[in-house]
Structure 1
Amino acid sequence: MIRKGIMTTTASIDLLAERAVRCAEQAQASLAELVGLLAQLNDEQQAAQPVPHERREVSTSGSRLTNQERRVLTLMAAGLPNRKIAESLELSEKTVKNYVHGVLMKLNVTTRTEAASKALSELLVDPAECRRVRLMGTTETSCQPDAGAGIRPSGFAAQAP
């Protein structure tokens, strides 16, 4: 028995040890069950996610973007400043600022970072294109209009449907 925090017999210690072992075994069983449930939940969530890089047009904010706004958004998501976007698209920096403002309004965000995050998470832009632009810089990224929502460096022809 325990009196005022002092154990009086060896039997009490054995009883306490047995209880601790039972509690540990129950906790281990509970943790194993929890790990199984979390793995199952993870599998279900992965099955419900769209295929990576699949462009989703269900976004009302993204579907209202013009092709030029999508090109600007792609370059924004790649981390380019307005000056580099202007050089790349052969526009004035003021025109790019106007496009950036329009993109922010249509996506209902207040910062370029929020716009980039939303564009990538909702697949409004092609993440691979953003990585390519980041790696290449802007010297070879003169983007020309195309039929799709993405951008393409000059010299690359659009594929026929």
Structure 2
Amino acid sequence: MTRLFVYGVLIRELAKGRAAELIAPLEEGRRASVEGTLYALRGGDGGWYPILLPGESGKVHGMLHDASGVDWPAMDAFEDAQGQPDDEYARREVPVTLADGTTTDAFAYCYVRAIPHEAEPIPGGDFGAWLRETDRKPFEARE
């Protein structure tokens, strides 16, 4: 079974616009985490989105979904992960730990550029909690 780990604007409670359309066919998902570091960037619409650096020290929290309903070409286009040299992300398989401690592998969109100087670290690796704590909104559309 193919799985998808989401940690930002593709989390159902945070998804707006195109992101909400892309995840609509997916089941509710299960809480999960990956090893890594999370940063936030401001998008063109003034909202924020996270960038994941997998395998770094720390834990990033998100949701694990059965990806059988994912429209991969549309998801890759949304995430700017189409295999081009200037892409922002790449879809990579990463180890994921579920809340009950079991592990599996899943695709996640990992940041592939140098970390911009304006990137803000997200302590605790939870994008939704960071948005609430900083009174910011998630981005809805790519610039």
Bigger radius of gyration:
1
Alignment TM-score > 0.5, same fold: no
What's the TM-score once normalised by structure 2's chain length?
0.26
**Which is helix-richer, 1 or 2?**
1
Using structure 1 for the length normalisation, give the TM-score: 0.24
Greater share of strand: 2
